Amino acid sequence: MALIHKATVMDEKAMQQALRRIAHEIIEHNKGTENLVLVGVRRRGVPLARRLQAYLNEIENTSIPLGILDITLYRDDLTQRTDQPEVRTTDVPFSLENKDVVLVDDVLYTGRTIRSALDALMDLGRPATIQLAVLVDRGHRELPIRADFVGKNIPTSKTELVEVRVTEFDDAEQVDILENSVQ
């Protein structure tokens, strides 16, 4: 089995535009950024949250706190996987108490990562609200979870893979669709 590149659905410019639009939507929805904090889900939610933070800071001329969430210890599939996921550090150096938290991730798929992230966030404090921003919503939810801010809706089949690439970890800034091919 090999992964075959099917299409590039967002390039660097499209990603920038989508994130900038989300930044505006977040401001509109929250009537400002006063009570706002961002939390990126490891791994690729973190650089996306950083980009959002930069746009928000620029638009509102402010400085919004950004935290990093590792959800490994909250996964619901730990007893099913043979490849043990590596635990990394959660770093939320501010209080979430009564804050409006915007959780940022790259792709929304089954909703299970977000379920884990919600549990992880609740253990850190009691926010006023939690909102979800994702770059891509690819459908196929297995849990009653939806995003408040979506960069792009991409209908996919379950055999496909949506890959968000960011310059921090990858050699490009774009979103690709890959497909498993049985040879």
Partner 1 sequence: MQALRRKDILGLEEMSAEEITLVLDTARSMREIIQRKIKKVPTLRGRTVLNLFYEPSTRTKASFELAQKYMSADSVSVAGTSSSLVKGETLKDTVRNVEVMGVECVIMRHPVSGAAHYLARSIEASVINAGDGMHEHPTQGLLDMFTIWEKKGRIEGLKVVIVGDVRHSRVARSNIWGLKKMGARVVISGPPTLMPPDRAELGVDYCPVVEEAVEGADVIMALRLQKERQESGLFPSLREYAELYGLNARRLAGANEDLLIMHPGPVNRGIEISSELADGPHSVILEQVTSGVAVRMALLYLLLGGVKEE
Contacts with partner 1 by CB under 8 A lie at 70, 73-74, 78-91, 119-120, 123-125
Cβ atoms of 180 and 163 within 8 Å: the answer is no
By beta-carbon proximity to partner 1, the closer residue of 125 and 174 is 125
Q: DSSP letter string over 25-56?
A: HHHHHHTSSTTEEEEEETTTHHHHHHHHHHHH
* Tokens representing residue 40 in the block: 């990126």
CB of 35 to partner 1, least distance (A): 20
By beta-carbon proximity to partner 1, the closer residue of 59 and 124 is 124
By beta-carbon proximity to partner 1, the closer residue of 98 and 159 is 98
By beta-carbon proximity to partner 1, the closer residue of 28 and 86 is 86
CB of 168 to partner 1, least distance (A): 20
By beta-carbon proximity to partner 1, the closer residue of 85 and 139 is 85
CB of 124 to partner 1, least distance (A): 7
CB of 51 to partner 1, least distance (A): 25
CB of 70 to partner 1, least distance (A): 7
By beta-carbon proximity to partner 1, the closer residue of 122 and 172 is 122
Q: DSSP letter string over the chain?
A: -EEEEEEEEE-HHHHHHHHHHHHHHHHHHHTSSTTEEEEEETTTHHHHHHHHHHHHHHHHTS---EEEE--GGG-S-TTT-SSPPPP---B--S--TT-EEEEEEEEESSSHHHHHHHHHHHHH---SEEEEEEEEE----SSS---SEEEEE----TTEEEEEE-TTTSS--EEEEEEEE--
CB of 165 to partner 1, least distance (A): 22
